[in-house]
Amino acid sequence: MSNNFAMYLMIGAGGLLFLIVIGYLILNKRLNKDDAKYARQLKQGTEANVFSAEVMYQKLYMLYIKIPGIKRYLTKIRRRLEIINIDDEYVTRKQTASILTKALLIVIPLTIGIIILTKSNLLLMSILLIFEIFMIETIMDGSVNKLDNKLLKEQIDFFSEIRHAYHEFNMVEEAIYQVAQDDELKVSAQAEKIYEVLISDDPESELEKYYDVAPNPYLKEFAGVSYLTKEFGDRKVDGASLYLKNVNNITQEMQLEILKRDKLDYVFQSLSLISIVPILLLEPLKSWAVSNFSFTNSFYSGKLGMITQLLIILVTFVCYILIRKIKDVSQTNANVKNTENPWQAKLYKHAPVKKFVDLFIPKKGTKEYRKLTQTLKEAASPNKIEWIYINRILLFVITIIVSIILFGQIHKVAINYIYEEPTAEFDLIGGMSERDEEKAMDLTESDNRFLDMFKGKPKTTVEEIQVAVKQSDDYEGATDEKIEEAADRIYSKLQVINSETLKWFELLLAIVFAIIAYMAPIWLLYFQKKMRQLEMEDEVMQFQTIILMLMKIERVNVEIILEWLERYANIFKDPITKCVNNYESGPWEALEEMKNDIENPQLIRIVEGLQAAVEKIPIADAFDELDTERAYYQDKRKDSNERLISRKGMIGKAIGFAPMIILFVGYLIVPLVVIGIMSMGSSMNAMQSMY
């Protein structure tokens, strides 16, 4: 362990001890207040002596909410868990603190490891520490998604028990109430909420409120079907209860969704980690290569090595974001994001910022504005156009600044390499001996004195350097050949140093990078749109299931079906909403306009069936093939999910392994081969010149 690391460790330990003392004094002061003393008296004799994880998480929650940086993540997790743990503050706090604590237990050791591995490269260390911010969100999202999946699996058993309870009571609300008494299940809280909706004075409006907070669409479907059955009554279809048939249809939908999520988790479980690993291996790989093949030091310690490092970090960052976008299957994201008040919205409220940003936003009514609005909808992005442009402008400015700083840093690395590296020939087999390295460093220090003398003088000639070398004490009594050799070497080094300045084409490159960054949010929207198009067929099949459930319920008409489709639509929400809004002015015309707005042939067939049901035939007759060919559609749905997972898996693997390939090919194999061949060529030339 190096002295520097030991010093850092002691400073960190001292800082931690100082914080503990300060925290103790503040806590002690608060505990001495009268209200705290009174609270302690009330608790006396009621507290358990054993350790309680639940109490610990409640205390940690109160601690996290006071820390500014951590509070942001705490609030973000809480918003998603509030939907799952409906009206249960205690469980929401416990789970929020638990997820955040686990994330911190992973991130803190990782931070220490990054600092140890990259302590000699401050730039790489800074980039990796910033990158951890994205890792925290991934860990938290994964933990919340596990709870979401757990709730979905509980719903399978819940619906199975509903069937038995309904046979016993033959009343929807009583069956739901009976099954909801199981307090151990998360779905019980949802069941209680649905029961309260059904027995309320205004169940229709309460049901609309529940739709806004339901954690997944299957509970929405169950609540809606239960309400329709309670209002219009149940009836027998082919000797079986229509309500129980619909519950069975919802169960089959959930089973397909659970299988899809499990397979996606299996395919993507290691891709995120694989995409991150390369940036953690940069420094260890560099140390191994330099220690075993010293001739590669010119690459790894020079500007080419730094450029390759930056490229790997950038590719890793992009691939990491894309993998998250591909895998994202959360049903609660849309509900949460729309309720957030992001920093972009707060920034846009300031008049000067608003005035400046509006200069870049396309005017309403223009083709560009309509196209961007449509892309946002098709990508299911919760962002507004104003937020997108704030991101674009900030990315443009930040990229220019960072690019110029990085170009300056690259030049600095090249100059430092000239000043600090031992002046010796490449050693193909291994490193230099200690004595040879000492002689090489003495030669470097001697050259550095001449470099300092002529640095910043681009018109310096070899002859001027020869005169300076001849007059120096370092070359007193040296032969003319040796002086000439030294002058040539110093002159070549001087050329490199004088050329390492910010150039006009680097400023041009910074602008090009900034333009790419400016376009990145739009390209990301297009990528999300493409990923959603892969799930288009799956959503249409969900529509078929909804119609299958509704078409045999009495008093259900085309307008009610459209309202249900709008409620569960994601990809096709915009045309369906437009159709619902225009329905009163003419059902046939509204459906015809919707048919013209969509391109999916399966959805067009559904619209044509709805058009037939408006005036000509009953809904059950318009969609009788859904019932008769139910098994076929189920198999087709499974096949569609398999193809979806296969496509996402292929894209995910190609993106996830890209950083690793670039790391080993561009950062290890190419330098070893190219520089090795060049080194061998130099050695051969030197040997030939000796004979």
pLDDT digits (tens, 9 = 90+) for 175-224: 888 888 876 677 888 888 888 988 888 888 888 888 888 888 888 888 88
Asked if residue 72 has pLDDT above 60, the reply is yes
Start-to-end CA distance of the chain, whole Å, equals: 48
Q: Which residue has tokens 């395919």?
A: 267
Q: Using the predicted structure, report yes or no on whether residue 359 has a pLDDT greater than 80.
A: yes
| CA atoms of 283 and 658, how far apart (whole Å) | 19
The 10s digit of each residue's pLDDT in 116-165 is 877 776 766 777 777 777 777 777 877 888 888 888 888 888 888 888 88
Q: Which residue has the tokens 């099949």?
A: 541
Quote the mean pLDDT of the chain.
79
The H or E element that residue 355 is part of is: helix 351-358
Average pLDDT over residues 613-640: 76
pLDDT of residue 24: 57
330 falls in which pLDDT band (50, 70, 90)? very low
553 within 8 A of 628, measured Cβ to Cβ: no
Query: pTM for the full model?
Result: 0.69
In the chain, the percentage of residues whose pLDDT exceeds 90 is 3
> Average pLDDT for residues 513-517, to the nearest whole number?
91
Mean pLDDT of 14-34: 59
Average pLDDT over residues 407-429: 72
Q: Is the pLDDT at 23 greater than 70, yes or no?
A: no
> Among 130-139, 258-267, 362-371, which is the least confidently predicted range?
130-139
**pLDDT of 22 strictly over 80:** no
Please give the Cα distance from 216 to 568 (Å, whole number).
10
Tell me the mean pLDDT in the region 344-349.
84
Q: What is the pLDDT of residue 493?
A: 80
Split at pLDDT 50, 70, 90, the class of 339 is: very low
Band (406; pLDDT cuts 50, 70, 90)? confident
Instruction: Reply yes or no on whether the pLDDT at 641 is more than 60.
Output: yes
B/e letters for 308-326, b = 16+ CB within 10 Å, e = fewer, are bbbebbebbbbbbbbbbeb
The Cα 377–Cα 47 span in angstroms is 53
**Residue tagged 């001495």 (tokens):** 32
Instruction: Give me the count of residues in the chain.
Output: 691
Residue 180: other Cβ atoms inside 10 A: 23
